[in-house]
Every structure is written in structure tokens, then in C-alpha cells.
């Protein structure tokens, strides 16, 4: 399990797969999910293999998640914001924006 | 990437030396190996123009062969041979080249485009002397029925459709052909840039940066390299580079059941967008204006594509003849030296492997080839 080393930043309320979670201001969506419960954050479009955030610096594209209804966003490149909704992504994204 | 199986060997003798490791050379070489001939492919390094790495991946029939009915026939023949060719490559190499023949559409935006397309397709049909030409026009409703789940842009009035059209993963195709070539005993020789082909008795010495190779026959399938190699061998062919851009989106759910000339969805879910044509010399760099134009048209045609991120874009240089039709020619001054040039290396891969190769091996030329020689360019020069 991953733990936050510094937790003195302000609390930001977000949803992870519909569950209310307290994240910390300044951290990325990917970090928030890892700190919450870790584990896979998506399955791949072709083989369905589980994947999780890896490089945390915008290079590897393993952390793709649905953020505020937009699929395939790089979770490590998006800062959490009050009320943000993050969803783990299963397989290929839909073409249309999720409602 | 193709791997070298053979170190540079000086003055080895082959039945056929094929210059060029792109789409055409390996395809023809596979057929030559099937005939029991000893074949080498002389290739350059990865730092040269690699047109065969920049393809869109269409196996395309509709609209090809304007003013040249033989090219219509030749293209159809390749499309017909493709399923067996793809199966054979997979059996030998394990590489699934992703060939599919679900038919293809060219979506038309507005009455003017539609009128122009109808006129163009109608002319190709007429030039064929009333022979069957498998292209028909669909109205918007018919296109919608063919693409369930796809919302067309308001401007789409209809499409031209051909059941002959299909597509393939061009990089897997290239890899499979190279793998099969080496398995079947061919010698792939990279970093063998050819500087000259010299007569040596009844055979030819092919001079390369890594030594000389001797061969009874030489096939120049070197893309833009033909421009330098051809003229001293009586193969002065007026090819020119024409740049085309391709954009690739992130992977998405399967929504496009068939290729649409400017769009196709890969087996993995990416959507590829094309296709531009610019005169830019040998500059294969990206032009952002062109990228924007392609993206804008895609969004007008299928508005939901706006939601997708573009993850890659690139440009490549078509090998274009003045009439956009292929060249298959044997030199008159240097018998046994052949040139093949075409911007349809993917579409023609099957027929190059299965039919054109037999012509190189010594069989009579396929009937289509009476139109594919150099004479047509002579006529243009004197005209």
C-alpha cells in the first residue's frame, strides 16, 4: 500500500468510482487513486490486461482514466480539484463523451 | 524491424538481386523464392526515406486506374489474391497482417463533391469499355444503414462504395513479408546501398557500399532510389515524391466497420486519418496546416471524432508517376534489369508476390503489363 509522506495540504473532496474520497491539494489524479486503494486503474483495449500508473510524469500513458466524463486522460498529468470524478477505465474508451 | 541474417559477403552470386526492402521488393522476392530461385534483397539503413513505413494500410480499388483500365484489372486481381496471401504469411510467420475485405466507402460532403466523384467514377467505368466496375453510389440513408452507430456530419450527402476495397496493417505486412523471405531462404542484406549496376558477361555486378553482388537479373524496387539508379540502365522513369500526411487517434471502441478512404479503424482500435497530397520535394516533415485540414474534415464527416486525441502524426512521400499508374518495365538496353515503381505497394503486394514475380522469373508478361511500360512516358516527352 502506498502512503502519503506529507499530508498537511488542504483536503480536496473527489469521487473515485463514485466513492467519496479525501485527496490533497496539489496531487495528481493518479496519485490520489494510488493513495486511496492502489491497484489497477485501467484494462488495456486490446488484451484487457490490468495496468496501473507507472512513470507518474506523463510519458508511459499507463495511468489513463476517465476524469470528469472524459476518457483516456493521463491521471498523472491532471491535478485533483474539488468535486472531481475519477473512474477507472475498462478497455477501449467510448467515442462519445460519457454522460 | 527486419534483422540482418547475413553478413556482408563479397561477390556472392544470385539468380536475382532485388534492390529495395520496402513493400514491392520483398513481395516480388517471395514469389521468386517460390520458383526456387536464389534471391537477395539489397537494402539501405534506417536513415533513408522509408516510404514503406508510412503507409495508411488500404487495399484500395475504387478510383484507381483513371485513363488506364489495365490498372483497374491489376488492382482487382491483387484484392482477389489478398485473402490467400494473408493466410499464407500468417501460416509461415505467425504474423496476422490484419487483412479484411469488408468493402470501402468514400464519404462525400455536399453536392459538388458528389457530382465530381460521380463524374470521375463514371469516366473510369466508361474507359473500361462497359466492363463490370464494382463501384456504386449510396445516398445518405444507405450509408447510415451501413454504419450503424456512426453519426454522420450534416454535410455528408452519400458515398461511393466498392465491395472490392479492404485494408491491412501495413507494418505487420512489411514484417511478415521480411520474415517469410528469410525463412524461405532469401538473403536480406541491409546497409548495402547500391551505387551502380554493371554488365559482366551475361550477368550483372551490383556494386554496393558493402561489396559487390553478382546476379543474372536485377530488380529495381527502390522507391525514390529509382531516380538515380534507373537512367544509366535505360530506365529513366519520371517519378516524383508526393507528400501525404497521416494522423492516428487514441484507441477507441470499434465503431467503423469498414475503411473509408480517409479514415480507417485498426484492429487495435486506433482511427487513422488521412489523406493529403502536397508537392514538397523530398521533405517528409509534418506541416501543421495540413494536419489541421485533415482533422477538420474528419470532424465535419464524423463529428464524434472530435472527442478523440491525436496521438501521432507523420508524413511520407509517395512514389508517383505522372499518370499515377504503376511501372513494370524491363530495360531495353540492359535485358534482365527490371524496374517496378508504384505508390500502391500495399494494395499490390499480393499480385506482386503471386503474378509479377513470375514475369521476373521469365514467364510471359501478364496481359496488364502492356500498359505499364515506359512507352507511355516516351509519348509524353514527344507530345
Q: What is the pLDDT of residue B150?
A: 94
The answer to whether B308 contacts A45, with C-beta atoms less than 8 Å apart, is: no
The answer to whether B268 contacts A46, with C-beta atoms less than 8 Å apart, is: yes
From chain A, the residues in CB contact with B298 under 8 A are none
Point out the residue among B252, B268, B305 whose CB comes nearest to the CB of A93. B252
Distance from CA of A10 to the nearest CA of B (A): 32
**In a shared domain, residues B271 and B132:** no
**In a shared domain, residues B232 and B331:** yes
pLDDT tens, B92-119?
999 999 999 999 999 999 999 999 999 9
Cα A55 to Cα A51, A91, B249: the distances in Å are 12, 20, 22
Does position B48 have pLDDT exceeding 90, yes or no?
Answer: no
The answer to whether A92 contacts B309, with C-beta atoms less than 8 Å apart, is: no
From chain B, the residues in CB contact with A94 under 8 A are 252-253
Could you identify the residue written with the cell 517471395? B30
**In a shared domain, residues B222 and B332:** yes
Helix (H, G, I), strand (E, B) or coil at B204: strand
List b or e across B347-374, with b for residues whose CB sees 16 or more CB atoms inside 10 angstroms.
Answer: bbbbbbbbbbbbbbbeeeebebbebbbb
**In a shared domain, residues B331 and B229:** yes
Cα B73 to Cα B50, B76, B98, B369: the distances in Å are 28, 5, 24, 11
pTM: 0.91
Span B248-266, average pLDDT: 95
Average pLDDT for chain B? 94
Point out the residue among B268, B304, B307 whose CB comes nearest to the CB of A45. B268
Residue numbers of the domain that contains B301: 240-320
Does position B129 have pLDDT exceeding 50, yes or no?
Answer: yes
B198: left (phi over 0), alpha (psi -120 to 50) or beta: beta
pLDDT tens, B279-300?
999 999 999 999 999 999 999 9
CA-CA-CA-CA torsion for B333, B334, B340, B341, nearest 10 degrees?
Answer: -50
B142: left (phi over 0), alpha (psi -120 to 50) or beta: alpha
Record the cell numbers describing residue B278, joined without a space.
502536397
| Closest residue of chain A to B309, computed from CA coordinates | A72
Question: Which of A90, A55, A92 minimizes the C-alpha distance to A74?
Answer: A55
CB pairs under 8 A between A and B: 31
The answer to whether B251 contacts A92, with C-beta atoms less than 8 Å apart, is: yes
Span B256-275, average pLDDT: 94
Point out the residue among B253, B268, B305 whose CB comes nearest to the CB of A93. B253
| Closest residue of chain A to B302, computed from CA coordinates | A95
The answer to whether B252 contacts A97, with C-beta atoms less than 8 Å apart, is: no
Could you identify the residue written with the cell 454535410? B155
Last residue of a domain, one of B120, B142, B162: B162
**In a shared domain, residues B140 and B46:** no
Q: Which residues of chain A have pLDDT under 70?
A: 97-99
First to last CA, chain B: 45
Q: What is the pLDDT of residue B130?
A: 86
Structural domains in chain A plus CATH codes:
11-87 (3.10.20.30)
From chain B, the residues in CB contact with A92 under 8 A are 251-254, 269
| Closest residue of chain B to A70, computed from CA coordinates | B307
**In a shared domain, residues B270 and B339:** no
From chain A, the residues in CB contact with B303 under 8 A are none
Are the CB atoms for B186 and B353 separated by under 8 Å? no
From chain A, the residues in CB contact with B255 under 8 A are 95
pLDDT tens, B6-35?
554 458 999 999 999 999 999 999 999 999
pLDDT tens, B208-249?
999 999 999 999 999 999 999 999 999 999 999 999 999 999
The answer to whether B268 contacts A95, with C-beta atoms less than 8 Å apart, is: no
Point out the residue among B255, B269, B309 whose CB comes nearest to the CB of A45. B269
CATH number at residue B198: 3.50.50.60
Query: How many structural domains are present in chain B?
Result: 3
Q: What is the pLDDT of residue A99?
A: 45
**In a shared domain, residues B331 and B316:** no
Amino acid at each position: 500500500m502506498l502512503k502519503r509522506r506529507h499530508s498537511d495540504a488542504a483536503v480536496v473532496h473527489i469521487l473515485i468510482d463514485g466513492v467519496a474520497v479525501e485527496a490533497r491539494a496539489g496531487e495528481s489524479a493518479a496519485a490520489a487513486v494510488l493513495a486511496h486503494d492502489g491497484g489497477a486503474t485501467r484494462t488495456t483495449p486490446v488484451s484487457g490486461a490490468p495496468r496501473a500508473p507507472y512513470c507518474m510524469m506523463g510519458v508511459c500513458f499507463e495511468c489513463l482514466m476517465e476524469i470528469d466524463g472524459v476518457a483516456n486522460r493521463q491521471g498523472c498529468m491532471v491535478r485533483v480539484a474539488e468535486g472531481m470524478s475519477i473512474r477507472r477505465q475498462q478497455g477501449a474508451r467510448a467515442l462519445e463523451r460519457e454522460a | 524491424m527486419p534483422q540482418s541474417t547475413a553478413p556482408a559477403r563479397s561477390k556472392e552470386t544470385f539468380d536475382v538481386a532485388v534492390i529495395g526492402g520496402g513493400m514491392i521488393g520483398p513481395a516480388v522476392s517471395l514469389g521468386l523464392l517460390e520458383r526456387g530461385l536464389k534471391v537477395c534483397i539489397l537494402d539501405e539503413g534506417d536513415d533513408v526515406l522509408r516510404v514503406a513505413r508510412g503507409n495508411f494500410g488500404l487495399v484500395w480499388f475504387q478510383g484507381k486506374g483513371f485513363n488506364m483500365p489495365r490498372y483497374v484489372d491489376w488492382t482487382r486481381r491483387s484484392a482477389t489474391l489478398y485473402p490467400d496471401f494473408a493466410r499464407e504469411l500468417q501460416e509461415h510467420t505467425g504474423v496476422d497482417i490484419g487483412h479484411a475485405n469488408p468493402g470501402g466507402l468514400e464519404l462525400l460532403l455536399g453536392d459538388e463533391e458528389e457530382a465530381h466523384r460521380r463524374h470521375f467514377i463514371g469516366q473510369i467505368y466508361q474507359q473500361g469499355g462497359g466492363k463490370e466496375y464494382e463501384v456504386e453510389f449510396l445516398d445518405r440513408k444507405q450509408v447510415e444503414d451501413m454504419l450503424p452507430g456512426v453519426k454522420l456530419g450534416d454535410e455528408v450527402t452519400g458515398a461511393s462504395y466498392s465491395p472490392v476495397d479492404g485494408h491491412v496493417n501495413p507494418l505487420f505486412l512489411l514484417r511478415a513479408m521480411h520474415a517469410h523471405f528469410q525463412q524461405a531462404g532469401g538473403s536480406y542484406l541491409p546497409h548495402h546501398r547500391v551505387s551502380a549496376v554493371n554488365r559482366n558477361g551475361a550477368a550483372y555486378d551490383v556494386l554496393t557500399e558493402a561489396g559487390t553482388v553478382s546476379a543474372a537479373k536485377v530488380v529495381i524496387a527502390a522507391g525514390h532510389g529509382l531516380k538515380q539508379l534507373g537512367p544509366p540502365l535505360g530506365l529513366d522513369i519520371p517519378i516524383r515524391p508526393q507528400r501525404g500526411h497521416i494522423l492516428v487517434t487514441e484507441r477507441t471502441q470499434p465503431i467503423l466497420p469498414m475503411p473509408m478512404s480517409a479514415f480507417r479503424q485498426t484492429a487495435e482500435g486506433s482511427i487513422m486519418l488521412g489523406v493529403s497530397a502536397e508537392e514538397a520535394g523530398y521533405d517528409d516533415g509534418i506541416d501543421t496546416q495540413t494536419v489541421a485540414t485533415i482533422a477538420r474534415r474528419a470532424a465535419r464527416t464524423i463529428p464524434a471524432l472530435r472527442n478523440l486525441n491525436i496521438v501521432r502524426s507523420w508524413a511520407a512521400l509517395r512514389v508517383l508517376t505522372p499518370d499515377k499508374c504503376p511501372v513494370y518495365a524491363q530495360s531495353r538496353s540492359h535485358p534482365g534489369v527490371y524496374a517496378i515503381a508504384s505508390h500502391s505497394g500495399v494494395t499490390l503486394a499480393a499480385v506482386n508476390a503471386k503474378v509479377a514475380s513470375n514475369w521476373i522469373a521469365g514467364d510471359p508478361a501478364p496481359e496488364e503489363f502492356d500498359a505499364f511500360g515506359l512507352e507511355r512516358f516516351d509519348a509524353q516527352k514527344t507530345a
